[in-house]
Chain A
Amino acid sequence: MATVALALTALPALGQERPWLHVQVEDGDDNTKVEVNLPFAAVEALGDSLGGHILDEIEREWDHDTDVDVDAEDLQALWQSLRDNPGAWVTIDEEDRGNLRARMDGDEIRIEGSGGDGALDVRFPVAFGDALFGEEGTKPDLAAAIRALADHDDVLVSVGGDDGRVRVWIGPR
């Protein structure tokens, strides 16, 4: 009986394939194409092992290259203030040079831009920021933020123009 119950619980998981991270880079000049496809579980494994070290490295580089003192609490406060004010965060419209918009749209953060050189579209779930910056008194957690992307069945970054195109997305194999 217990075996049957266990098998029934496992059935939905069998039908639902785990997501993959896809990256495509195309260079418009020499027709070079790069394609990367990784099971998201492998990306999570890298995040779990490397996440903390990557953030330490970014912090070291920041401290080395700038005089601006930013700590985890500042980032959490900034994220919380953005989170508390959904809607348009940044809007730049320049007739000749293009436009850029950053906004929180439902449970998604969108950055869209276009200009003479091409177009930009960035979409991240709000859960990514929540997991990355965490709560007061905690350190930023890249591994948790990566795990929060697993349900984002959509484009993460799309940048394209005459010179080439970069597209990063999470979806089926």
Chain B
Amino acid sequence: MLRLLGLLLAAALISALLFGACAAACGVAVVSVVAEEGPKIVAPVPLMLPLAALHLVPDHLVDHEIHEEMDALEGAAVLALGPFARALEAAGDAVLVRVTDGEDQVLIATEGDDLVVRAREGGDSGNRVFVRTPLRVLGDIGDACEALGDSEVRCDPLGMARSLLSAARGTEIEVRDGETRVDVTVW
């Protein structure tokens, strides 16, 4: 009986270690939600979960969404992401897009090796969205696709997801809507 219990404990320990190692290898997104009323919620989400979920999606659904719905121009745009991102990275820090409408502003910039998006509604004290993600996320999405002939582009959805998740380390998302604040940090 004691031997069986020992075996079960060892199996549980190994499983926990494997899960922990796998989660650490894939990364963890820490989601924090602070609402005006209610408790503060902090939830670590291992990024291996969406990868595992993607394995469960039937192939024909992924094929339809990614390949049959993508025309030649869209496919070429995906392939252009890599060289486009590398050119941005080589050019150094810059404000790429700034849209100003009264007190509302959207700003897309490169800072170091990151792409940063800042959106502000209603001045400094209003709602805001902030996203920082490594520029190589764009390149990695493009690199998971390849051109077949002149007009067809094939993408490996699992490869795209893996690249996206591995490159997403260092991604920060901050959303403030009134008194509610959501932060996501990928480690």
Contacts and interface: CB of A to CB of B under 8 A. Distances in A.
Interface of A: 18, 20, 30-39, 41-42, 44-46, 48-50, 52-54, 56-57, 173
5 contacts: A30-B102, A38-B88, A42-B91, A44-B87, A54-B73
B95 A31 contact: no
Nearest to A51: B76
B21 interface: no
B114 to A, nearest CB: 16
Given A31-B102, A45-B87, A38 B80 contact: no
A42 B76 contact: no
Contacts of A45: 80, 83-84, 86-87
A32 B98 CA distance: 11
Interface size class of B (residues with CB under 8 A): 20 to 34
Contacts of B98: 33-35
Contact of B88 (A36, A39, A52, A56): A39
A39 B91 contact: yes
Contacts of B102: 30-31
A45 B91 CA distance: 13
Contacts of B100: 32-34
A150 B87 CA distance: 14
Given A49-B76, A53-B72, A57-B73, 9 more contacts: A20-B91, A20-B94, A31-B101, A32-B99, A35-B97, A38-B88, A49-B80, A52-B76, A53-B73
